[in-house]
Structure 1
């Protein structure tokens, strides 16, 4: 199987987190067509993402896609068998290396011991009976004989290991080559089938659309989905308060919707990781860390949305039955604790972000400003094009794994999340004061 050695560029990661939700939001706001039709662009998208499973064929209601599934399963099975064979080869090679080292070491020791024994026996024969020299010579002979016996036993064990491991390694190498060829040829077969379907897909989509009824009615599931989308849009608009606080509420709604589409990115990334690991045998060094950081940022940005829509967990046994005015009084009293938390989060996040930029990793201007050595104006005045083009310059803290993604943007996203939460708290405070003043 060919290797899929791909490492996601850092710029592509951060740009994707911005561009993908914007495109998804525009697509989600499009009006649904009265007549459902198959889309050629969607068909090609499915072909690229799931063509090895024949999903593009299933999309256009073609049962030929079933032919792709066993070939794909053959790749997975061959890779699993190849991985087992690779482990056997590795273990057998280690055993062979250890046995060869034992043979080299013990052979020399045995020769030395055998050469020393005649002299030791002669020293014993020449020693005076009952003297200390006799006891010493006997101990030396005993050690030499023990060394001989232990060495011969280790040599016998090493020779046995060699006799077993060398054939096992050869057999496992043959199995590895066989299963590698099976996976490789199955992969090229799927790739050829996908290339052919790339040419046939326009005709397949056209025939699938022609087979649709002239005035196809929406299914119950589609009608339910449409009603749900309409109700969600209505519910979201109901959370926007009148007056100047409305722009804060709309910002929180936008932020919550924006980061919600990051969950879709996770589907594609983990799908790529699974295919890369189990089909191509090339696990990534960036998928898990990138999603770990993304979900952390999503949690922080969505905090203001959760507060606006009252999605946070709380005990409503006393609060829920209250009138709006009484709820406002309770919210005003407890807002003190909220602003302590939100203010601490905002300030701590800002400290983390500045510290992340203060790491001396090459960009002295940003680092010196973050550490307070120069002013913001001095940092801006000293800027050159080399700050952007020099590949040796890094802008702050980076991760410790091989991907080495910059961490300072995530720290500044923490600041944005804290700021949104504080603003939403101000909006909530203003609405509670308004409710108390109006008495309703």
Structure 2
């Protein structure tokens, strides 16, 4: 199987976290056609991303996509057997190498010891009885005899291991080559089918649209009466996001929540790429997992204000839910003290973490020196250039410890941004509660 040696550039990661949500928000606001149909562009996107599983066929309501699944399973099975054979081959090869090195080392030692044994015996026989020279000669003779016995044992063991491991290594090498070819040719078969489908997609789209036009539209699973009862139980249950916004802070929180929600879609693509790279191409990445848990950490922090605005946080409503709006406002005001203690602590500590992350000198000392207070802000700006941001050989600020070495300071600054949004939303909520108390409703 071919290998994928792709490593996501740092600039592409951070730029993708900005461009992808913007594109998603633009597409979500497009005017939708009255009659939904199938898109050739989307079909090609599915072909590129999930074509090896035949997902483009399933999207276009074609059961011929089932042909892809057994072939793809052949790829997975071939790769699994190839990895197992590779492990057996590696173990057997190591045994062969160790045995060969043992034979190379012990055979000359044994030959030397056997050549010297007669001379040592003669020295023992010639030495005066009970003398120091005789005892010394006997000790040398004993060491030589022990060395001969040990050497012969080691040589016998090494020869046995060599005889046993060599056929295993040869068989494992053949198995590895066979299963690698099985996976390779199965993969090439999938690529051939995908190439054919790439030509057939326009016709498949027209066929799927024709089938959809003949289908009877399904009735809504929730009728008007059920929806009205649900609204009476919880007026906010079916409340649209835009209905929560009453001021610019609320709109900012809604924008932040919608923006980072599209990051979850990025995770689908990245983890899909990781699984395919690992199990199809035997090329696990060193960046997928780290990039995603950093992204989800930032998403959690930035979406906090959105969750607070839409009352999505978990709380105990046994006593709170039955209260009237003014009483709820009083409860909110009293408990807001604890909220601002938490939010203020988050804001201050995240700012300290962010500045400390920038202050780490890991290459370009201009920004790091400014963060440590050694130079002024203007001097720092004057020393910056485009190369400081684009040259991969230049790093500044805290970076991760694995091979990807992604800068961590942007993520820590997002902690501070999340704290700012949370504090602002808390101020907005207090103002609403005060108005509710003043109006009595």
What TM-score comes out, normalization by structure 1 length? 0.91
Q: Are 1:278 and 2:288 matched, yes or no?
A: no
Following superposition, the deviation at residue 32 of structure 1 comes to 4.6
Q: For each residue in 1:10-58, what CA deviation from the matched residue of structure 2 results, as whole angstroms up to 9, or x when unmatched? A: 1211121112222223333445544332211111111111111111112
Q: Are 1:330 and 2:331 matched, yes or no?
A: yes
Match of residue 240, structure 1, among 245, 248, 258: 245
Q: Are 1:368 and 2:373 matched, yes or no?
A: no
Instruction: Give the secondary structure class of the aligned counterpart of 1:249.
Output: helix
Following superposition, the deviation at residue 315 of structure 1 comes to 3.1
Q: CA–CA distance in 2 between the matches of 1:222 and 1:161?
A: 73
Equivalent in the alignment of 2:193: 193
Q: CA–CA distance in 2 between the matches of 1:265 and 1:223?
A: 35
Following superposition, the deviation at residue 276 of structure 1 comes to 0.6
Equivalent in the alignment of 1:312: 313
**Residues 415-430 of structure 1 aligned to structure 2 (within 5 Å):** 415-430=416-431
Q: CA–CA distance in 1 between the matches of 2:146 and 2:222?
A: 84
Equivalent in the alignment of 2:153: 153
Instruction: Give the secondary structure class of the aligned counterpart of 2:271.
Output: helix
Following superposition, the deviation at residue 323 of structure 1 comes to 3.3
Equivalent in the alignment of 1:26: 26
Assess, with a 3 A threshold, how the Cα gap between structure 1 residues 334 and 222 changes in structure 2: closer, same or farther: closer
Q: Are 1:302 and 2:303 matched, yes or no?
A: yes
Q: CA–CA distance in 2 between the matches of 1:46 and 1:396?
A: 39
Do the aligned partners of 1:36 and 1:216 also contact (CA within 8 Å) in 2? Answer: no
Kindly report the root-mean-square deviation, in angstroms, between the aligned alpha carbons of the 2 structures: 2.4
Moved more, 330-339 or 38-47: 330-339
**Residues 136-215 of structure 1 aligned to structure 2 (within 5 Å):** 136-214=136-214
Runs of 4+ more than 6 Å apart:
221-224
Following superposition, the deviation at residue 214 of structure 1 comes to 5.0
Do the aligned partners of 2:277 and 2:285 also contact (CA within 8 Å) in 1? Answer: yes
Do the aligned partners of 1:355 and 1:370 also contact (CA within 8 Å) in 2? Answer: yes
Equivalent in the alignment of 2:49: 49
Do the aligned partners of 1:35 and 1:216 also contact (CA within 8 Å) in 2? Answer: no
Do the aligned partners of 2:43 and 2:59 also contact (CA within 8 Å) in 1? Answer: yes
Q: For each residue in 1:297-332, what CA deviation from the matched residue of structure 2 results, as whole angstroms up to 9, or x when unmatched? A: 011111111222222223333333333333323322
Do the aligned partners of 1:35 and 1:215 also contact (CA within 8 Å) in 2? Answer: no
Following superposition, the deviation at residue 385 of structure 1 comes to 4.6
Instruction: Give the secondary structure class of the aligned counterpart of 1:213.
Output: helix
Instruction: Give the secondary structure class of the aligned counterpart of 1:155.
Output: helix
Moved more, 324-333 or 50-59: 324-333
Moved more, 365-374 or 155-164: 365-374
Q: For each residue in 1:364-397, what CA deviation from the matched residue of structure 2 results, as whole angstroms up to 9, or x when unmatched? A: 3312211112222332344445445555332422
Equivalent in the alignment of 1:340: 341
Q: CA–CA distance in 2 between the matches of 1:363 and 1:430?
A: 45
Gaps of 5+ in 1: none
Assess, with a 3 A threshold, how the Cα gap between structure 1 residues 370 and 93 changes in structure 2: closer, same or farther: same
Equivalent in the alignment of 1:81: 81
Q: For each residue in 1:398-429, what CA deviation from the matched residue of structure 2 results, as whole angstroms up to 9, or x when unmatched? A: 22222121111111111111100111111122
Assess, with a 3 A threshold, how the Cα gap between structure 1 residues 330 and 389 changes in structure 2: closer, same or farther: closer
Do the aligned partners of 2:250 and 2:428 also contact (CA within 8 Å) in 1? Answer: yes
Following superposition, the deviation at residue 90 of structure 1 comes to 0.8
Equivalent in the alignment of 2:233: none
Q: CA–CA distance in 2 between the matches of 1:342 and 1:378?
A: 33
Q: For each residue in 1:259-281, what CA deviation from the matched residue of structure 2 results, as whole angstroms up to 9, or x when unmatched? A: 12211111111111111111111
Assess, with a 3 A threshold, how the Cα gap between structure 1 residues 60 and 402 changes in structure 2: closer, same or farther: same
Q: CA–CA distance in 1 between the matches of 2:322 and 2:211?
A: 56
Do the aligned partners of 1:255 and 1:301 also contact (CA within 8 Å) in 2? Answer: yes
Equivalent pairs, count: 432
Equivalent in the alignment of 2:102: 102
Q: CA–CA distance in 2 between the matches of 1:235 and 1:389?
A: 42
Following superposition, the deviation at residue 240 of structure 1 comes to 2.5
Equivalent in the alignment of 2:250: 249
Q: CA–CA distance in 1 between the matches of 2:119 and 2:66?
A: 81
Do the aligned partners of 2:11 and 2:390 also contact (CA within 8 Å) in 1? Answer: no
Q: CA–CA distance in 1 between the matches of 2:113 and 2:12?
A: 67
Following superposition, the deviation at residue 258 of structure 1 comes to 1.6
What TM-score comes out, normalization by structure 2 length? 0.91
